């Protein structure tokens, strides 16, 4: 009987754990280590952040699901990985620290045969002075942050109702952010709600982003066939910004956030500032900071993780200029090159390089989106990794058997532009592949028959259906495994 340990119970980890139990649970042990007692369907945090959904609608308690499924759940944070075991050798293990109230702070060594690191991002608010909900700006990255943003939003609405003017700044809180899409959705949901509440005329909205052009979204943007033209997403994105009366400020690295002022530098080296009453700025992401030790207790963190804390897997990591990047650089099996029983899934893996072209300001400040790792690839990677582990455990496979390269898969993404059963809209997008492959698709790097986008009410319905469907799947209700990632 082998033990598969999964670190993290987010999109990648929960998917991995669910399939591990389905495929291996009868004969093997599945352990999940995660510090939060709840699973959060993060995409719907946007609606929590504008007060259209309650926190309870976007979270699910994990313990009952895991108990029913027969998964051993430890509510704890992984601290270090010991891939060679301890001084006496033996089984590799992870040191975890409990966060569950009853055992808070208690440490334990959890042995494993296979380990999946799906710990997601550390929200690195510390990278920018004054950034984050504990300082001067808001966030929607967790359900708690989103609930706090909703409270602040309501206060702003009340002020506007009393005739005051409010400045909203929404976007990225650092030059190396990813996840622009989430901030973008939040911007348009705010705008939609302001209109619905009859105070739109009292608000000025600003989109602040590290993208070179609007509509980059960390993917270098995308080209779409529409209206008889092949058009870059920049055009559609600027169109939406103009339609909704939003001012935009691009190529920006946020340098500091004061209580009512955000400072930023742009690629041309100029320094700017924007006054705000309400600012929601996404932080840059880092790895969660796991350490690693060899059998003698010597630190080997750099063997397992890159300097930002993301885990090395089977990507082509040698540095090379943008012009030489290839689709084949992207990991396929997510197996660590030193320890074949160690995998990473979701945001936790180290990408070989960004997708958007790296840019530096004249002062040498890097300002460009870091690579995106959205929900669909995160879940698909989690499932592929566990399928490989299953084949190694039960079918005698000696190497990983399943792949999920972001340069070989597409993504379906729905970006909300306002909630409402009859008045809502969202941009429904598909992109194939996520990472452009200029060898296969020389002109635009993508298959233009599978890359598509459209704004409308149908998108809102789809986004809502996805919310219901993925929470149903997370609860492991009847037929859950048939629902695609």
Partner 1 sequence: MENRKPYQQGYFPPVPTATTRFWRTNLLWQAWRLLRINMKMVRVIRASHH
Ligand X SMILES: Cc1cc2nc3c(=O)[nH]c(=O)nc-3n(C[C@H](O)[C@H](O)[C@H](O)COP(=O)(O)OP(=O)(O)OC[C@H]3O[C@@H](n4cnc5c(N)ncnc54)[C@H](O)[C@@H]3O)c2cc1C
Instruction: For the chain, state the CA radius of gyration.
Output: 22
Rounded Cα distance, 111 and 84, in Å: 11
Is residue 352 a contact point for ligand X (CB under 6 A)?
no
**Considering only residues 27, 260, 271, 423, which one is a binding residue for partner 1 as defined by CB under 8 A?**
423
Cβ 139 vs Cβ 145: under 8 Å: yes
CB of residue 406 vs partner 1: minimum separation in angstroms? 10
Candidates 296-304, 306-314, 389-397, 450-458 — which segment interacts with partner 1 by CB under 8 A?
450-458
- Measured CA to CA, the distance from residue 195 to residue 230 in angstroms comes to 32
User: CB-wise, 53 or 384, nearer to partner 1?
Assistant: 384
In the complex, minimum distance from the CB of residue 215 to partner 1, in angstroms, rounded to a whole number: 11
The residue assigned the tokens 């729905």 is 414
Q: What phi and psi values does residue 380 have, to the nearest 5 degrees?
A: -65, -35
d(CA 28, CA 119): 22
With CB under 8 A as the contact rule, the residue among 78, 455, 471, 474 that binds partner 1 is 455
Q: Is 408 in the site for partner 1 (CB under 8 A)?
A: yes
Quick note: the x/- pattern for ligand X over 4-43, rule CB under 6 A, is: ---xxxxxxx-------------------xxxx-----xx
Is 328 strand, coil or helix?
helix
Among 51, 173, 371, 375, interactor with ligand X by CB under 6 A: 375
Provide, rounded to whole angstroms, the least separation between the CB of residue 432 and ligand X.
15
Q: For residues 263 and 88, what is the distance between their CA atoms, to the nearest angstrom?
A: 54
Could you tell me whether strands 59-61 and 38-40 are parallel, antiparallel, or unpaired per DSSP bridges?
antiparallel
Binds 222, which of partner 1, ligand X, none (CB < 5 to 8 A, cut-off by type)? none
Region 40-59 residues binding ligand X, contact defined as CB under 6 A: 42-43, 45-46
Q: Which residues of 322-347 are buried (b: 16+ CB within 10 A; e: fewer)?
A: eeebebebbbbbbbbeebebbbbbbb
Question: Of 285, 432, 464, 470, which one interacts with partner 1 (CB under 8 A)?
Answer: 432
> From the centroid of its chain, how far is CA 358?
20
Residue 408's Cβ-count burial label (10 Å; 0-12, 13-18, 19+) is middle
**Cis bond before residue 433 (omega within 30° of 0):** yes
* Residues sharing a CB contact under 8 Å with residue 26, sequence separation 6 or more, in sequence order: none
As a residue count, the chain comes to 485
Q: Binding to ligand X by residue 83, rule CB under 6 A?
A: no
Handedness of CA 229, 232, 235, 237 (dihedral sign): positive
**Nearer to partner 1 among residue 236 and residue 285 (C-beta):** 236
Instruction: Give the largest Cα separation in the chain, rounded.
Output: 71
127 forms part of the interface with ligand X (CB under 6 A): no
- Comparing CB distances to partner 1, the nearer of 84 and 191 is 191
Structure tokens at 4: 């598969």
Q: Which entry of ligand X, partner 1, none binds 456, CB below 5 to 8 A by partner kind?
A: partner 1
The piece of 193-201, 240-248, 375-383, 425-433 that touches ligand X (CB under 6 A) is 375-383
Among 297, 422, 479, 482, binds partner 1 (CB under 8 A): 422
**Residue 190, burial from CB neighbour count under 10 angstroms (0-12, 13-18, 19+):** buried
Residues 231-270 that bind partner 1 (CB under 8 A): 235, 238-239, 241-243, 245-248
The residue (of 247 and 363) whose beta carbon lies closer to partner 1 is 247
Provide the 3-class DSSP secondary structure of residue 482. Answer: helix
| CB-closest chain residue to ligand X | 10
**Stretch of 171-179, 255-263, 301-309, 452-460 lying at the interface with partner 1 (CB under 8 A):** 452-460
Judged by CB under 8 A, which stretch of 36-44, 153-161, 303-311, 454-462 contacts partner 1? 454-462
What residues make contact with ligand X under the rule CB under 6 A? 7-13, 33-36, 42-43, 45-46, 77-78, 118-121, 140-141, 179, 182, 288, 346-348, 373-376, 378, 413
What residues make contact with partner 1 under the rule CB under 8 A? 235, 238-239, 241-243, 245-248, 376, 380, 402-404, 408-412, 422-423, 425, 428, 430-432, 447, 450, 452, 454-459, 461-462, 484-485
């Amino acid at each position: 009987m082998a033990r598969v340990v999964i670190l993290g119970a987010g999109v990648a980890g929960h998917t991995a754990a669910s399939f591990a139990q389905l495929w291996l649970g009868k004969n093997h042990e599945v352990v999940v280590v995660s510090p939060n007692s709840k699973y959060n369907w993060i995409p719907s945090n946007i609606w929590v952040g504008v007060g259209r959904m309650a926190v309870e609608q976007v979270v699910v308690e994990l313990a009952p699901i895991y108990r029913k499924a027969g998964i051993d759940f430890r509510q704890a944070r992984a601290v270090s990985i010991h891939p060679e075991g301890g001084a006496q050798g033996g089984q590799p293990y992870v040191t975890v620290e409990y966060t569950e109230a009853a055992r808070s702070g208690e440490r334990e060594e959890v042995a494993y045969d296979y380990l999946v690191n799906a710990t997601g991002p550390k929200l690195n608010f510390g990278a920018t002075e004054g950034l984050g909900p504990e300082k001067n700006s808001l966030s929607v990255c967790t359900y708690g942050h989103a609930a706090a943003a909703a409270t602040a939003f309501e206060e702003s609405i009340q002020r506007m109702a009393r005739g005051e003017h409010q400045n909203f700044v929404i976007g990225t809180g650092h030059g190396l952010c990813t996840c622009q899409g989430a901030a973008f959705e939040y911007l348009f949901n705010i705008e939609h709600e302001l209109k619905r509440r009859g105070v739109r005329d009292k608000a000025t909205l600003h989109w602040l982003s590290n993208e070179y052009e609007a509509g980059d979204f960390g993917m270098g943007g995308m080209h779409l066939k529409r209206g008889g033209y092949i058009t870059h997403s920049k055009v559609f994105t600027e169109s939406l910004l103009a339609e909704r009366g939003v001012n935009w400020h691009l190529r920006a690295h946020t340098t500091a956030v004061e209580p009512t002022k955000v400072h930023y530098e742009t690629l041309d080296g100029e320094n700017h500032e924007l006054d705000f009453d309400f600012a929601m700025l996404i932080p840059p992401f880092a790895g969660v900071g796991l350490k690693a030790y060899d059998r003698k207790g010597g630190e080997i963190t750099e063997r397992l993780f890159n300097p930002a804390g993301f885990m090395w897997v089977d990507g082509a990591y040698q540095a090379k200029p943008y012009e030489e990047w290839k689709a084949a650089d992207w990991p396929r099996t997510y197996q660590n090159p030193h320890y074949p029983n160690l995998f990473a899934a979701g945001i936790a893996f180290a990408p070989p390089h960004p997708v958007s072209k790296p840019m530096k300001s004249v002062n040498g400040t890097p300002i460009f989106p870091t690579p995106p790792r959205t929900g669909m690839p995160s879940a698909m990677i989690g499932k592929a990794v566990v399928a490989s582990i299953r084949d190694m455990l039960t079918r005698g496979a000696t190497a990983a058997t399943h792949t999920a390269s972001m340069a070989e898969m597409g993504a379906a993404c729905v970006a909300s532009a306002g909630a409402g059963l009859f008045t809502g809209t969202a941009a429904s997008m598909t992109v194939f592949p996520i990472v452009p492959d200029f060898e296969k698709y020389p002109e635009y790097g993508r298959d233009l028959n599978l890359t598509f986008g459209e704004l409308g009410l149908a998108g809102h319905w789809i986004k809502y259906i996805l919310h219901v469907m993925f929470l149903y799947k997370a609860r492991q209700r009847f037929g859950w495994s048939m629902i695609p990632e």
